[in-house]
C-alpha cells in the first residue's frame, strides 16, 4: 500500500532540495540578462495583481510540457543557458515547480520564498498587464 503524502510533506521535500531565494536577494537579480523570472500563476492572478516586469509567464499546469524538449509544446526559453527563478503568489507552487524543473534537468533553478507577495512587500517593481478584451 502506498503511503499518502499531504501538501506539507511535498513542500518540505521540495524545500530540502531546491534553493529558496529571499525576495530581497531576488530584487538584486532583476534585470540581469542571465536570470529569467518565471511566473507560474494563473493568467487571472496576473491580470488582478500584476507581475514582475520582464517575467516569462508559464502557467503551472504547462510547466512539464514546456520544459521537455521532446514535447510538442516545448518552449525554447527553457533550453537557454539561464538561471530560472520561479515564483507564484506565496511560494508553494514555485517550490514544487522548481523541484520538478530540477528533476527534468534544468540546472540553475531557484524559487522566490514568499512568492510575488514577498516580492511586492520588499518593494519589487510590479507592472500591470494590458486589460484583456
Give pLDDT tens digits for 67-120: 999 999 999 999 999 999 999 999 999 999 999 999 999 999 999 999 999 999
3-state DSSP helix/strand/coil percent for the chain, to nearest 5?
40, 15, 40
Range of the domain at 108: 35-121
Asked whether residue 95 is assigned to any structural domain, the reply reads yes
Asked whether residue 12 is assigned to any structural domain, the reply reads no
Asked whether residue 69 is assigned to any structural domain, the reply reads yes
Asked whether residue 29 is assigned to any structural domain, the reply reads no
- The pTM of the full predicted model, rounded to 2 decimals, is 0.94
The confidence score (pLDDT) of residue 2 equals 75
CATH number of the domain that residue 45 is part of:
3.40.250.10
Asked whether residue 117 is assigned to any structural domain, the reply reads yes
Q: How many domains does the chain have?
A: 1
Amino acid at each position: 500500500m502506498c503511503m499518502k503524502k499531504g501538501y506539507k510533506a511535498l513542500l518540505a521535500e521540495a524545500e530540502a532540495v531546491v534553493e529558496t531565494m529571499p525576495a530581497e536577494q531576488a530584487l538584486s537579480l532583476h534585470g540581469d540578462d542571465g536570470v529569467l523570472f518565471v511566473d507560474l500563476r494563473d493568467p487571472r492572478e496576473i491580470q488582478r495583481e500584476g507581475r514582475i516586469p520582464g517575467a516569462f509567464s508559464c502557467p503551472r499546469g504547462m510547466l512539464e510540457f514546456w520544459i521537455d524538449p521532446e514535447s510538442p509544446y516545448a518552449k525554447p526559453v527553457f533550453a537557454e543557458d539561464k538561471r530560472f527563478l520561479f515564483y507564484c503568489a506565496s511560494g508553494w507552487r514555485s517550490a514544487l515547480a522548481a523541484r520538478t524543473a530540477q528533476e527534468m534537468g534544468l540546472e540553475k533553478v531557484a524559487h522566490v520564498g514568499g512568492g510575488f507577495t514577498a516580492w511586492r512587500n520588499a518593494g519589487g517593481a510590479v507592472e500591470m498587464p494590458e486589460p484583456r478584451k
